[in-house]
Chains A and B, each alone.
Chain A
Amino acid sequence: LTIAARAIAAYGLRSECSLPREPLAAREFRELLDHCEQEGVLGLLGAAARDGEFPLDPAQHAELELEYRGSLGRALLVERLLLDAVLVLDRSRIESRVLGGVALAHTAYDDPSQRELDSLGLLVAERDLAAAVTALEDGLDARVVQAPPRSEHDSPIASRAMMSARGLELRLHGTVVDEMFAPPYRFPLGVTELETLPMPARLLYACRRPVRGGASLRAVWLRDLAQLVLRERPHVLDVLLMARSWDGEAVVARAVDTAWRELELVDRPPLVEWAARQDRR
């Protein structure tokens, strides 16, 4: 991550990264905007600017406003698609859980405008995956863009279908782990109450992307982890017990340690200390 992108990704958290004190030069600002979009942290740049913590000249303000509005509009379309997809699955009597960005934006962040959304993820039981694909094809005119399902031995996701609807990506994941359907964490979206994973399953799921992302590691995934750990303060033992049952301790340690190192975060709950020790072994 670039230094500026790190500082933006850490905005609002106690971090060694610092934001500029004067408006950047025009070219530098354009590069920062591009980085923020690539890294999925444009919403955090917007929050910093709105709070008066990121200095902008009038031209930069106008440029950011335009990009930010586009990004927020996409987020709303993602949320609309999610509401429609959940309704379709409910009508087909298929239980689902909201995964990823939308769930995190509304449960882990103070303001969902801080979390960019460009796709949505839903979890269903693996035995329901084929029926869910059919229901979404029929109900939303969605189409499968990537098949067949592939197995992931070190996660609770047994199979997946990548779909496309209304020009947006819809990831449908199938699980064989009953624990994923433990009593859910509920959050409101519009007038609907949606269900996502409870803790610590939500954290463990969020740990997969920074580790699997490899060269395409995005700052937003690291910020998601920081939000979950700092806001929910999960107990180390709870996390370890569940991670162990998924054979995912190393994934959790790597993801959490990477987030803290890259974002240079100051507050270090016990889980972070554990992750640092494990990851350096």
Chain B
Amino acid sequence: MSVPRRRRLDVLWRRSLDHVVVLAPGADEPVSVGGAAPAVWRLLAEARTPEDLVVMLVDATGADTASLQPAVTRALADLDRAGVLEAPDPPVVTA
């Protein structure tokens, strides 16, 4: 199972018609990411694995898994490159 990712809370962002426009902390310029990224970004308000995202988007759009998987992978890579995703804190284990 892949590692879950979520939005960084300190990212400033907006949604255009087809893209999500993000400004990561420390970045000089905003970055626009299209394709599946706006839908993926919306879902990443909570931590999710790529597999979770594909399942949710298949449910929402009716598209097939084979076509969505590469789109989700690309969106995650683009968002990661923009520096706007993070891994959630690991759960605290108490003795």
Give residues in A with beta carbon < 8 Å to B: 46, 49-50, 61, 64-65, 68-69, 72-73, 75-77, 79-80, 111-113, 189-191
Contact = CB atoms under 8 A, between A and B. Distances in A.
The 5 A-B residue pairs whose C-beta atoms are closest, nearest first, are A73-B30, A72-B14, A76-B23, A72-B21, A191-B10
Contacts of B18: 65
Interface of B: 9-19, 21-23, 25, 29-30, 32
B13 A61 contact: no
A65 B17 contact: yes
Contacts of A73: 21, 23, 29-30, 32
Contacts of B21: 69, 72-73, 76
A49 to B, nearest CB: 6
Given A76-B12, A77-B23, A79-B12, A68 B30 contact: no
Nearest to A83: B12
For B13, B18, B21, the residue with the greatest tally of chain A CB atoms inside 10 Å of its CB is B21
A191 B8 CA distance: 9
B12 to A, nearest CB: 5
B44 to A, nearest CB: 16
B12 A46 contact: no
A112 B16 CA distance: 11
A61 B18 CA distance: 10
Nearest to A189: B12
Given A69-B32, A73-B30, A80 B17 contact: no
Contacts of A64: 17
A75 B19 CA distance: 15
B23 to A, nearest CB: 4
Contact of A65 (B12, B16, B25, B30): B16
A191 B14 CA distance: 15
A173 to B, nearest CB: 24
B17 A46 contact: yes
Contacts of A75: 14
Given A73-B29, A73-B30, A113 B11 contact: no
